Amino acid sequence: MRQARDKQGYTLLELTVSMSIFFIVLFALYTIYEAGQFAYARAATDADLRDHGRRALGQILKHVRVSGYDPLARGIFGFKAATGFNPQATERRLLFSTDANKNGILDQNADERVGFALFGTDLRRTMDGTTPVEELPPLARNVESIRITYFDTAGKPIPAYPGETYTLAIGDMARIRRLSIELRLSNGSAGQAARTRTITEQGWLRNP
């Protein structure tokens, strides 16, 4: 009887069951592969956003560290008002000065009038706090928000209870010794591919 069955081969039912099991296993393997690819792409996107944000914050804090550089002691650099220049320190923008060429004069260029602000979704340099420096590329794109917190020598926030929005007065700006900047970026995609990342860095003023 066994020899007779071997000659007959498999029945249609047996083939159907075998094919069903094969496709179930194949679908499971594909699902695992697709999930792995999605996880890899998501991790790669997160890493790109983190690196993009850290580079942008690194550029800002590099300038913050030398804000107020005043080798000739003219007393007009940093978060200080000067002729034709008003510094800014808000929760969303920075504007200060530095004597980059050591001539004791506040020159009309982006090296000495240093500002950073969000224009649309681009984080850009600014010389007046209201318009971007067009010849310089954005520090970061697809920026959803920026939040700057200021601290004094004792590490206390300025203002003492920073709200949703605030603008520091000249007297408060003179007390700034440290900044904490929180940057929230997205990858500009929608749906399941949309990713956001929040990066926070701190910097200290060497020349307040």
Which residues have CB under 8 Å from 17's CB, separation 6+? none
pLDDT bracket for residue 18 (50, 70, 90): confident
Number of domains in the chain: 2
CA-to-CA distance for 201 and 61, rounded, in angstroms? 8
> pLDDT of 150-172, one tens digit each?
999 999 999 999 899 999 999 99
Whether residue 69 sits in one domain with residue 134: yes
Residues contacting 161, CB < 8 A, separation 6+: none
Determine the Cα–Cα distance for residues 105 and 110; give it in Å rounded to an integer. Answer: 14
Residues 59 and 85 in one domain: yes
Higher pLDDT, 15 or 103: 103
Q: How far apart are CA 126 and CA 25, in angstroms?
A: 58
Asked if pLDDT for residue 136 goes beyond 90, the answer is yes
Which domain, by its residues, includes 13? 2-40
**Res 14: pLDDT:** 73
Stated pTM of the model? 0.79
The pLDDT assigned to 131 comes to 97
